[in-house]
């Protein structure tokens, strides 16, 4: 750990840095899955989905920065390389190659739902550690992910 005058106990900071790096791996994985959907979507809803997936990606990139920067603020080092992410991510592999737009919507909504679930469990961990700063970031991400899940899932509903 790097020296810091942050007054959170060192044990709390270590615990939160580990948690943040774990969620960072998930967020980077989600970001790449979002781009996979963005690049490969086809069909009559192409432009709507292509643009939606790009907007999701933009917010996920913001979540990545929030998580990484909080880890550094606590005196930690960020583990955001592709190899590190591949080892640490808890998200399932993106399952769709050359699929229909509906399959991409289903795959991305599943990834968003899984990410939202681990973020919510991390909120509980942040609360138990009494780290309001980290908890606040996780709550912000949770709200955003829930919004994007709603918007992506709307494309699974019948007309």
Q: Give the CATH number of the domain where residue 66 resides.
A: 1.20.1260.10
> ∠ at Cα 103 (102, 108), nearest 5°?
100
Q: Helix, strand, or coil here: 77?
A: coil
d(CA 53, CA 5): 40
**Quick check: is 150 in a domain?**
yes
pLDDT above 80: residue 69: yes
For the stretch 2-21, pLDDT in tens is 889 999 999 999 999 999 99
Answer whether residue 93 is part of any domain: yes
In tens, the pLDDT along 133-153 reads: 999 999 999 999 999 999 999
Structural domain contains residue 145 = yes
Is residue 3 in a domain?
A: no
CA 50 from centre of chain: 19
- Asked if residue 64 lies in contact with residue 31, where contact means CB atoms within 8 angstroms, the answer is yes
> What's the number of domains the chain is made of?
1
Question: Maximum Cα–Cα distance for the chain, whole Å?
Answer: 57
Whole-number Å distance between alpha carbons of 96 and 37? 8
- Judged against a pLDDT cut of 90, whether residue 96 lies above it is answered with no
- Residue 4 belongs to a domain: no
Would you say residue 1 lies in a domain? Answer: no
The angle at the Cα of 87, spanning 82 to 92, to the nearest 5 degrees, equals 95
What is the domain range of residue 27? 10-156
Rg (CA), the chain: 17
Q: How far apart, in whole angstroms, are the C-alpha atoms of residue 109 and residue 10?
A: 37
| Dist. CA 115–CA 70, nearest whole Å | 18
């Amino acid at each position: 750990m790097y020296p810091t005058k942050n007054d959170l106990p060192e044990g709390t900071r270590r615990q939160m840095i580990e948690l943040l790096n774990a969620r960072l791996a998930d967020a980077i994985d989600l970001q790449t899955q979002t781009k996979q959907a963005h690049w490969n979507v086809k069909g009559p809803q192409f432009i709507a989905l292509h643009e939606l997936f790009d907007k999701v990606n933009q917010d996920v990139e913001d979540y990545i920065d929030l998580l990484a920067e909080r880890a550094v603020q606590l005196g930690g080092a960020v583990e955001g390389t592709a190899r590190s992410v591949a080892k640490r991510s808890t998200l399932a592999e993106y399952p769709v190659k050359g699929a229909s737009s509906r399959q991409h919507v289903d795959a991305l909504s599943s990834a968003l739902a899984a990410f939202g679930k681990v973020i919510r469990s991390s909120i509980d961990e942040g609360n138990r550690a009494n780290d309001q700063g980290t908890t606040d970031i996780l709550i912000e991400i949770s709200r955003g992910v829930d919004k994007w899940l709603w918007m992506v899932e709307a494309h699974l509903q019948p007309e």
